[in-house]
Amino acid sequence: MKAGASLVGLITGLFFEGPQLIGRINRELVQLLKNDGFSSISEAIGADFNKKQKKSKKL
């Protein structure tokens, strides 16, 4: 997501782990976002790209 993706492919994971995978992904994603200082997914989308853009403008 931080590189710009907004959709995660889940089909293989759902096949092997079942529908409980969705809840697990949600819980872990919320924790990862908090750890990185984001309050929402929309804040994280493209964050790494935007960081690189700001650094390259300084050069």
Rounded to whole angstroms, the Cα distance separating 4 from 49 reads 7
Please classify residue 1 by burial: count the beta carbons closer than 10 Å to its beta carbon, then call 0-12 exposed, 13-18 middle and 19+ buried: buried
* Model pTM score: 0.60
Residue carrying structure tokens 């929402």: 40
User: According to the model, what pLDDT value does residue 27 have?
Assistant: 94
Predicted confidence (pLDDT) per residue in 8-17, tens digit: 667 777 888 8
Tokens of 33: 């976002």
Q: What is the Cα–Cα distance from 26 to 19, expressed in whole angstroms?
A: 12
Task: Spell out the domain ranges in the chain.
Answer: 11-58
